Amino acid sequence: MTETTGMTDTGTVEILDGREWTRICDYEQLTPGRGVAALSAEGQQVAVFRDRSGAVYAVDNRDPFSGAYVLSRGILGSRAGVPTVSSPMYKQVFDLRDGRCLDEETAPDGRPAVLRVWPVRIAQGSAS
């Protein structure tokens, strides 16, 4: 599962990092329509988003087109009902559910233009 539904307004946002759930922040700390950058337990930069419906997504923070760690500053939106984030660098649009770039299939380095996606959950009863 890569997204949560807007069924809660409290709890702790966690990502599945390897075999363990890693705490990111309290759900209330995420501003709807905005992203935050966090470090995973593996040392990877993760962009975590809460959309306006309350769903939460976690993807790689590194833009595969520019190489910059900026996706947490991207613009949330949707394309044909698909939740998306637009890179603030060159404006490519990524599907938040599977990390796929909706504009181009390959990045400049020849690799597939896909972001890593972390499973995310709202853990109840663990908010501080």
SS3 27: helix
The structure tokens listed for 31 are: 């501003």
SS3 122: strand
CB 6 within 8 A of CB 13: no
Amino acid 44: pLDDT: 94
Assigned CATH class of 12-123: mainly beta
Per residue in 41-100, pLDDT (tens digit) is 889 999 999 999 999 999 999 999 999 999 999 999 999 999 999 999 999 999 999 999
Amino acid 8: pLDDT: 58
Q: In what order do the strands lie in the sheet with 20-26?
A: 20-26, 12-17, 120-123
The least confident of 16-20, 33-37, 97-101, 109-113 is: 16-20
**pLDDT category, 125, cuts 50, 70, 90?**
low
- Specify the pTM: 0.89
